[in-house]
Structures are given as structure tokens and as C-alpha cells.
Structure 1
Amino acid sequence: MTALAQQTPSAKNGMGAGPSETPAFRWAASKGSWLLVTVSVIFVLALAAVDYYDRARDDNKASPQPSSSSTPVTRSTRYLRMPDLCGYVRRNEMRGRHEKGPYGIGLDYENDSKGASCDWESSDKIERNKFNLVINAHLLPTETAAKAEMADIEPGTTTIDSTTRTSRTAEQIGDDSMQTIADEDRDETGKHNHTWVTFRRDNLIVEVWYSEYAVPLSISDNKERVTSMALQEATHLDTVITEEPENREKPIRG
């Protein structure tokens, strides 16, 4: 038997490998220990990172985030300029009617950035009933001042040239609204009825005055019709104020 054949059974049984195998075994054991330690360290670091992330996220939720701008953004509920109420009515409702001008029947306000005044009368070519529509509007410096002005309109009955009755509107227009209805007058030309509605939207006050005159005596519901028309126009103007895009942005609203 050769020397190689004599060494084979010892090698298979793991015996007699000689001193050359001992360092290899120790190196493998050492490698396994370091691998275990490395995995443990990575695991601990991962837990620490997750804990840090959770704490940072909670801190961000609890603390207010700084604004992208150094100046805080505030929203105002104040009108800075008068919406173009007369222009809107002129273009969309009163075409073909006679506009009497800002002083046609003694209107109260200038047509400028703080006030609006306009009035129309019926056209014989369009309406059978003769009417006047007057719009007065003005801005107050603050909403508080506008509220105070509205508070001066007291419910009740007054008698000067004719009897008028003032009350809150059945359905609120704007932030606050009042109506004044005059008693019906009659003469040889027919019936005459007048209603005016005043409403507030923020610091803007709008007055709508509507009347019909020389109405045939045979028409029985003219007083109710006039009141309905005044309320309808006031409601429409409030819609224009709040929903027209140009009335929700600067320079009109700020």
C-alpha cells in the first residue's frame, strides 16, 4: 500500500489531519463570532434610527411649522372699493330704460371708490307699468361702523308725507337687512306704491328703492308686487357682490 493510500482513512475520519488544520478552524470560529457581533450592532443601530425618526415626526406634529413668508397672511372681510353695482345693473338689467343720472331724484352718494348712486325709470316702449329703480350704496371704514348704521334703522311706523312701516325682511339679505313699505297712494292718475330695502354685507351698505306709479286702479296687488320687486333686486345685488369674481379680489376686496 502506498503512502497516499495509508493516509486516506485518517483524512476521511477527520483524524490525523495534522497541525496545519487547527488555524483554519480557529479562523472560521472567529469569523462567525464577528459576523454575529456585526449583525447585532446593525440591528441596534436600526432600532435607534427608527426611534429617532418617530420622535422627530412627533415633534414636527406638535410644533407649528414656520410660514414660507416672513409676514403672516391675514384675510380681511372688508371691502376696500365700491363694487360696480350701477355698471352691472346698467349692462344687464336696465338696457333700454332711461337713466336719470346720479342727481335725478336727489341721490345721496357720489359715484366713486366709496359710493354708488344710480336711478332708472321705465320705458313706455318696454313696460306697461311706470317705475323708478334707485340704487344707493356706500362703504364704511369698518364692519362695526356699518353695523351701527344699520342699527339706526328702527322697526316701526312713521308718518311724514305718508305712512311707512319698517321691519326686518322675512328672508335675510346679506348680513343684515331691513325693509320700509309705504302705504299706497291714489290720485286721478292711479295708484302709487313705494318700497325700499337696505342691507349690509360686511362694511358695505346698499339701499334699493323701487316704486311704481300711475298704476290702474283696477290692479289690486300692486303694493305686494312693488315690495317683491324691491326685495328681488336687493337679493340680486347681494349675489353680484358676493359671487362676481372681481368683487372677491383686490382692489375691491382686501
Structure 2
Amino acid sequence: MSMAFQYQEKKSFMHDVDPITKIVWMICISILVFIYETAIPQLVLFVITLATAFILARLSPKFVLRGIWIMLLFSIGFFILQVLFVPGRTQLFSLGPLRIYMESVDFATAITFRILTIFTTSLVFVATSDPRDIVISLTKQLKIPYRYAYSIFVALRFVPTLESEARVIEAAQTIRGVGKQKGLKNKVENIKRFSLPLLMGALRRVRITANTMEAKGYGAYSDRTYIRSIKISKKGIGFVALWMALTVYLIVLKFM
């Protein structure tokens, strides 16, 4: 079973373009979601992002939902709080002493879709970009020191590893009869019993990685060579040029 926020090796348009192109695409999306404050533009951007995930990246709806479900739950709670407590002028209806305004609903909807759009673009980037290609693109094309770029590679490698270890810990505790239990006190104990093995495993893995890098002399030289090479393709240039032109046009149209 594939895990969320892990590179998915397959053939698609987004898999074929280089990481720098996708970073520029993410920046364009981020700029657009922050210059608009109403619900309709945010909904359009979210639909475009989902279409990119489903069509251009060929990610399944199940995979995307598994990647954003936590943020989706957070966004729903955030939406309810914003609707209830953000003031407005045009009243839609009332719930006892609470008054629901059109402006608060529009603002809450816009913020909710903004969060989901940014999170979904990150999911598309991670799922379609080989961590090795990200490091090479950052060091060769953006001239970022490889020691800093490698930290991104480690983070992208550790996230799915920790997710896999979490599943193993949960399964082991369930087999031993100490699985999830109901009640507030039991939930606190469950979190403690689950988080400590995961934390210890993460610390052990970090120590092993650090010792390995030290033994191999990682960082001893200012530059290094790479077997793989990353080039910006014509389709990548066309894709990023389209998004940059669209972003500039919408910014000018917004503030004219």
C-alpha cells in the first residue's frame, strides 16, 4: 500500500518535469491564493490543483484524500470557528444567540480552500519528485550548498519511514492486547505508549544517519559530483512559462 507524502514512481506529465519547474509552479499557486480573499477564486484554484493532481500527476483520488485528510479535518474545524466568530454585515440566518453573516461564510470558505490548495500542491510536488532529483536541482540549478539541500532529502526520506514504523508499532501493540482504548485517560496513555517508541526509533535512525555521513566524510568538500543529471525539458519550460504569465496577468488585473 502506498503511503502519503512519498514519491510515487510512475509516468505522468508532472513526473517528467524537473523539480525546479514544480517549485516555480508552487510559488505561482501560493502567490495567487494569497492575493485573493474571496471564496470563488480560492475554489477555482483548488479545483485547478486537484485537476493537476488527478490528470497531470495521475494521482488517485484515494491517495490525495489520504494525503490531505488531516488538513481537511483541521480546515472543517477552522471553517466552523470562522463562521461563528468572524463579524459581518449581511446576516444570513441565526442560531439562537449566534448570527451567521454572509461575509464570515465567504471569508471562512476562502481561508479553508486556501489551506487545502497549498497543502495539495505540496502533496503533488512530493509525490511526483524523486528526492534525489530535488537535491541535484537545488545544488546544480539553484546553487544551494549540497549540505543544506541534503537536509530536504533526509526529511522526505524520513517521513514515509516514520509512517511505516508507526504502523508497525500500532500493529504490534494491537497483537499484544494494548491497542486503542476508549476514554480520555486511556487515550492519553495510548498516545504516550505510541509516541515514545516512535520517538526512540526516530532518534536512533537520526544517530545512525549522522554516524554514516560522518564516516563517509560528507561535507568535507565544498562541492561534489553526481551520477544523475537533471535538465529542464521543453514541456517544463512551457508549463512554467504559462503559469508565470497567468500569475503576472492576474496580479496586474487584481491591482489595476
Q: What is the TM-score of this pair, normalised by structure 1?
A: 0.21
Q: What is the TM-score of this pair, normalised by structure 2?
A: 0.21
The structure with the largest alpha-carbon Rg is 1
Choose between structure 1 and 2: higher strand proportion: 1
Choose between structure 1 and 2: higher helix proportion: 2
